[in-house]
Amino acid sequence: MNKLALHWKIIIGMITGVIFGMLFSQISWGGNFISHWIKPFGTIFINLLKLIAMPLILASLIKGVSDLKDISKLSKIGGRTIIIYLCTTVLAVVIGLFLVNTLSPGRSISEKTRNELMSSYKSDAEEKQSAAAKQIQTGPLQPLIDVFPSNIFNATTDNKNMLQVIFFALFFGIGMILIPEKKAKPVKKFFDSFNSIILKLIDMIMIISPYGVFALLAALVVESPSADLFIALGAYSLTLILGLIMMIFIYILIVKTFTGTNPITFLKGISPAQLLAFSTSSSAATLPVTMDRVENELGVDKEVSSFVLPIGATINMDGTSVYQAVAAVFIAQAFGMDLSFTTQLGIVVTASLASIGAAAVPSAGMIMLIIVLGQAGIPEAGLALIFAVDRPLDMCRTIVNVTGDATVSMLVAKSVGKLKK
């Protein structure tokens, strides 16, 4: 079992959890047994993910921004890199929102199943409704005010205030860049180490993920045995995959339009990195191969690739952005929530910024999704609905992340005259 890759362990946990839940749902005392003795382990797993979200965003963003000190030397390349990355990220979120609102995978859940879900998370839903009522009574610029924390320590005690923490991390990182490097060096070393520790903690949490998935799926089957919930989960997966495919086609179109590179040449050149990204679910692990392919097969100058691609592995997560938009609205639909235009605009902003802080490691996007759910007022407990299928989808969205990095490196190289034909 220890020799199996993590994604296979999670898939096994998912299948056995469903079978276990189906078997025990046929026993009179089975439901209570799973609710009292199995489900708590799934809850612990979700709590661990929520626990790590706040330190991860602080560590990743502060490190990522402080790493941009080379922009002073490569201001032309740096400025274009950041702008293009932000544009593709926002585009990815918009595509995700468009598809999930158009196809509405969560609306296929029956009223009976939806009521069961709502009753399971009644207290959580009431809390969200109360917060929404207060939001209506505030002024139109209150969401903007809420971005700026008056006390960072208060902001870090609640995942709902994650946007404030993101702002502080960006602000802090910019401050580190603007002071002399010698003075910033001790703090930089601290956050580099802090980031490494957080990534190791994520590895440790993911070790127990197969058992967490098993517990969550077993409880989900027992508490909501309706087949329409699983049909909706399949529709959610297909919606997300469609969004990821659309992003790949957009990359191909961008590369063809702005660099004149043949789509076949582009895909052939980047395909080894895409396959590695699929198997590892890590942009960071794929980075050496990505750099080699864009330099030797796609003609990007090393000066550009060595700057653009490492930054991309940190802040460019287009596949993760599509996922966060689709997953957030799907969970809201499953709970019967209607998200306003303002709330969905908030998802665009939050998902775009959260993807910047997403670590380039497997399943970090799930942790970042907590940020988006909390900011949009969507029950975080809804993570249990989608976690079972997250691992294979994570493998797919990492392909998009890596392809996006390669696309931007070609655009930047072309714009500064460093793309070889």
d(CA 214, CA 10): 8
pLDDT of residue 132: 45
Q: Does residue 42 carry a pLDDT above 90?
A: no
Pick from 15-29, 230-244, 355-369, 405-419: least confident: 355-369
List the beta bridge partners of residue 419.
300
Residue 289, in any domain of the structure: yes
Is residue 186 predicted with pLDDT exceeding 90? yes
Q: Average the pLDDT over 351-363 and give the result.
A: 60
Q: Does residue 421 lie in a domain region?
A: no
136 pLDDT tier (thresholds 50, 70, 90): very low
pLDDT at 138 over 70: no
Residue 358 lies in a domain: yes
Determine the Cα–Cα distance for residues 300 and 333; give it in Å rounded to an integer: 43
Any domain includes 121: no
Reported as half-sphere exposure (CB side, CA atoms, 13 A), residue 24 has a value of 26
Pull the structure tokens for residue 160. 């709902």
Identify whether the C-beta of residue 242 lies closer than 8 Å to the C-beta of residue 65. Answer: no
b/e code 353-389 from CB counts within 10 Å (16+ = b)? bbbbbbbbbbbbbbbbbbbbbbbbbbbbbbbbbbbbb
Token pair, residue 421, equals 């034909």
Domain contains 216:
no
- The C-alpha atoms of residue 94 and residue 80 are separated, in whole angstroms, by 21
Output the pTM of the full model: 0.69
H or E element at residue 228: helix 227-259
Task: Write the CA distances from 292 to 144, 267, 273, integer angstroms.
Answer: 42, 14, 9
pLDDT digits (tens, 9 = 90+) for 333-345: 888 888 887 888 8
pLDDT of residue 174: 81
Phi, psi (rounded to 5 degrees) for 318: -65, -40
Beta carbons of 200 and 56 less than 8 angstroms apart: no
Residue 391 lies in a domain: yes
- The number of domains in the chain is 1
φ, ψ of residue 27 to 5 degrees: the values are: -105, 140
Q: CA-to-CA distance for 98 and 348, rounded, in angstroms? A: 11
- pLDDT computed for residue 344 by the predictor: 82
What would the two tokens of residue 352 be?
């775009």
Residue 16 lies in a domain: no
Q: Is the torsion defined by CA of 227, 221, 331, 383 positive or negative? A: negative
Given a contact cutoff of 8 angstroms between Cβ atoms, the answer to whether 242 and 322 are in contact is no
**Within a domain: residue 123?**
no
Give the highest mean pLDDT range of 98-102, 128-132, 394-398: 98-102
Dig out the tokens for 22 from the structure. Answer: 């189906």
Q: Look at residues 29, 346, 300 and name the one whose alpha carbon lies nearest to residue 163.
A: 346
Residue 23 C-beta-side C-alpha neighbours within 13 Å? 6
Phi, psi of 358, deg, nearest 5: -70, 120
Phi, psi of 419 (to 5 degrees): -110, 115
Is 342 buried (19+), middle (13-18) or exposed (0-12) by CB count in 10 A?
exposed
Q: State mean pLDDT over 199-210.
A: 81
> Residue 181 is part of which domain span?
55-109+138-205+225-415
Calculate the alpha carbon distances from 117 to 7, 129, 365, 377, 381 in Å. Answer: 27, 15, 24, 16, 10
Q: What is the DSSP string of 391-408?
A: HHHHHHHHHHHHHHHHHH
pLDDT of residue 3: 73
Nearest alpha-carbon partner for 304 in 182, 220, 217, 410: 410
**Distances from the Cα of 77 to the Cα of 83, 88, 164, 381, 412, angstroms:** 10, 17, 29, 42, 7
- Output the domain CATH number for residue 268: 1.10.3860.10
282: amino acid identity, one letter: S
The pLDDT assigned to 247 comes to 96
